[in-house]
Structure 1
Amino acid sequence: MTVSKEIVRLRLYLLCLTGDMAGLFLSFLAANYLVLGALWGEPGKPHGLIMFAMLAPLYAILGVQGGAYGIHSFENSRRGIVRALLALAQAALLMLLIIYFGKIAEKLSRLTLLMGLGLSAVAITLVRFAIARLGVTLLGEVPHLTAVILDGVAISTAPHMTVIEAKAADLHPERHDAAMAERLAAAVGMAERVIVACPLDRMDDWSIALKSLAARGEIVVPELLRFAPARIDEMDGQPTIVVAGGPFQFRDRIIKRLFDITVAGAASILLSPVLIAAALAVKLTSPGPILFRQPRIGRDARAFSILKFRSMRSDVTDLKADRLTARDDDRLTPVGRFLRRTSIDELPQLFNVLIGDMSIVGPRPHAAAAKAGDSLYWEVDARYWERHCIKPGMTGLAQVRGHRGATDHHQDLIDRLQSDLEYVTRWSILRDIRIIVATIGVLVHHKAY
């Protein structure tokens, strides 16, 4: 079973943080013993324990902020150690300020402090060496962070990189369709940096294809070697152009995921009477399943099954969304028409949020066969795949602005795409809250049918 990179990173954060806290605690206990001759310090003066209690939270905050934790330590242990030691030094300086202004310096042993800091530096270094050595055993599958796609151009790569031959993986960037986007996501797996080496005439196509990923996308441009000042980034000395940045840092993804779980869990409990009543109404008024499942395009263009209360007769259910619902659609049941008009049919997506396929707020997920006019969505605007670098949402900026309902014309899609891309590039948790509040006012609207 493939472990998601979010789970691996969260495990690694917790493992490193636990190891560091244990290392700091034992270091100051040892300092107590070496300096004072007792593990717990002198009676009434538990020097090491007080120092640990002051230092530990400061170090944890500065370490997280400064990049001392994370999956990158598997690729570059030295960098992780340097950042951890820098965070320790900064925490020590802040602790000294607290000691000075708190006027408690005379109650603490300076030698114990120096001994404790020295042993702590050794401890956090050993923790990172141990995790780098035992990471796969402790965490399960550990993904490569960098994937290199070779499309007709050979370049040198490092051992820690996943190398993908475009032809062998059936990757054809000129095909701007859902199948290609899904194959690309499957090929790069859990990589967070995807680098493509390709001829100049294929760079435009790869630039579009990479934007569908949640990863940072880059294209190798050997011609830039002659223009060192123009270098944007590099891989083993070879300049690359960054064409896709990946929208969220890991900390942002943790915050958004915790927010989603909290809101979806609370909403599932509070709205349980509505969910039960809707389920009974669907079951008792028409034959067929209560829930309607349909493949939709999610983050990284990976397909998932969206959940809705069934609003159509089961014999005419459109699993592929070849025909979008229209006003006065004869396929709708009377109960289904009410559920769609009040947006109650969307409530089962709370369970999509809880299992991780969706977010509370984000671009609405589309079916692969959905069209604007006579054109597939990605044929209308080359920027379409950029909206798939994050999880789709139950509601979004486009929805609260009124860009919802049928897409009879190209402009219908372009309007909502503009809002989706604005949300992707300007996300904040406060904006999510504002969108949720605004959604309450548009649950019933003239485009709901």
Structure 2
Amino acid sequence: MIARPAPSKEAARLRLYAISIVIDIAVIGCGFALANLIVLGDWLGEPGKPHGLVMAAMIAPVYVLIALNGGVYGIRMIGNRRASAVRAIWSLAQAAMLMVIIVYLGKIADQLSRLTFVAGLAISGAGLYVARLFVERLALWLVGEVPHVTVLMVDGVTVDRPAHAHVMDAAAIGFDPTDRNAEMAARLARAIGSAERVVVACPPERMEDWRVALTALSAKGEILVPEMRRFAPAKVSVFEDHPTLVVAGGPMGLRDRIVKRALDVVISLAAIILLSPLLIGGAIAVRLSGSGPILFRQPRIGKDAHPFMIFKFRTMHAGRTDLLADKLTERDDPRVTRIGAFLRRTSIDELPQLFNVLLGDMSIVGPRPHAAAAKAADTLYWDVDDRYWARHCIKPGMTGLAQVRGHRGPTDRHEDLVNRLQSDLEYVTNWSIWRDLRIIVATLGVLGHDNAF
């Protein structure tokens, strides 16, 4: 494996920042100018009122400062258009709120065309999103090769090739961490170039040598420890100046739990009201499908592993329901009624769980709740992977990261559960209210699924 020093990241970053900022300022300016034309019939607005271009001039500088601080621009945003767009629109909203405060305190609200302001924000927000669709290609064309932010240094072990890191072999660049001298240190620095992060994969007996070698770099140095994977999700903390590994303790603080609960109550109440015709129609359809209760109640494992009773529309014949989930539902399962098959395929059978959310047993977004007897290839879920219990540190959800990624349906193999578990742990570790909102929106596109039966 031949190592090539990464090109100058600093020069590329400056050009990329400049290009992105100019494009965003132009988008905001054009957005408010277009709002002038739509609302007031003229690009420049009407005499006596601050027209859209003046609003853009007030918002754009503040937006740039907020966007820079919020990580809208930079090398990491290339190839991550959606994240860049979300951050850009949020920065625009913050800049607009600051402008409203200034306008109110300056007592010039009467001179402001409110409709132009709202229209300009809407057009600019849409423009910032659309701009991300081509700004990456334009930036790459102007900037050239994008330097690697992360370098994976391999020393005597075998690892999977990552998708977003430059891989180097220590032997190929002639570096030996046990040989501590200035020439070796300089050789490592030249090979790393301007990377910001260096991750080393090496045998345990060489970790201490690599720890010393990495301290000479200005980049962030890390050592890959495969044994720590079994502790995931884990974080590093400190106790009396001693480093500790946090292997449990809840991923959300009190404030986060309050915000998430508020979102759950608002969305569940609104959904129950808006979807009441569908709930009533589903109940009638189940009643007409045969004798038995309309709702199917089953014990599931909830937050802190406490059991709760989940609500679903009954989709099986009354005498053939599986309260313990000993047998997973199969395709064309004879236990499922004709109406039940439709409810499952369209996810309508899950709608009664809105009441579970309102009662506080579930959340709108979270790991899906499982029955205690659920199995993957005849093995109980918690026996498949020791990390399984980590998903119970938060409330289970009606939808989740695993579901929007397509991990639904039966768990005929251990891999089916592990794939879901990986997404669940990722969600637990990196929770944010914005991610919840994105998952909710993404769920609308996966309500119908081939594996929903």
Structure-1-length-normalised TM-score? 0.49
Structure-2-length-normalised TM-score? 0.49
